[in-house]
Amino acid sequence: MKSSLKSFWRDNRSLFLFLALMFCFRSAIADWNDVPSGSMKPTLIEGDRIGLNKMAYDLRIPFTHISLCKIADPARGDIAVFDSKAADKRLVKRVIGVPGDTVAMQDNRLYINGKAITYTAAAGGDWLEQLPGKNHIVRIDPNAKTYANFNPVTVPADHYLMLGDNRDNSADSRVIGFVPRSEFVGRSRSVVMSLDYEDYLLPRAERFFHRLE
């Protein structure tokens, strides 16, 4: 039995080493992440698989959230992935408020540090939201009021205020509260591939390697 195990290991150790390195790479350096819901429409749609830079914010021990070295902090406008304890699942949202910011929302219009964010009409009835240093498209339903307002809140140290681009259909910081920095997994800047859930999982070629704003 022992000789058989040794022989099996000798014959397959290169494969095992490759698999171990691949899993470590995906855990700590780069991976992709499925987009299961429409909370980030129109930026992301169901069936997208986004590239995930896991070293954008920290160098971590593989398979853990233990940071060996902080590389950068999440920046306003980033599309970030985080493991939310409050929601008990992994989420993809946009960074809106960073530590020390005071953020409010009135009729789906943001105010950051007392300044109203500018919105201009975009194609398809969407809106261009002009965050400081970052413009991106958001989807707003003028008839929806459930999440359209919140009073000024100050983002505490080591926490972030996260919102979905599909503002009236996103369980984000308006539901789960501020997101601790320790829960961040990484940042995404592109769609790697996309499959159409409503059309037999056929690929959406036009979204392959699509750059995210």
Catalytic residue among 39, 84, 173, 188: 39
Residue recorded with tokens 């590389």: 71
3-state secondary structure at position 182: helix
As given in the structure block, the two tokens for residue 116 are: 């109203």
* 85 is a catalytic site residue: no
> What is the rounded distance in angstroms from the CA atom of residue 36 to the CA atom of residue 211?
19
List 41, 54, 84, 93, catalytic entry = 93
**How far is the C-alpha of 23 from the C-alpha of 120, rounded, in Å?**
44
Could you tell me which of 169, 181, 206 has the C-alpha nearest to residue 80?
181
Which residues, in sequence order, are bridge partners of residue 162? 95
* Cα–Cα distance for residue pair 75/166, rounded to 1 Å: 20
User: What is the distance between the alpha carbons of residues 5 and 199, in angstroms, rounded to a whole number?
Assistant: 47
Structure letter (DSSP) for residue 164 = -
Which pairing describes strands 184-188 and 115-116: parallel, antiparallel, or unpaired? unpaired
190 is catalytic: no
Active site residues: 39, 93
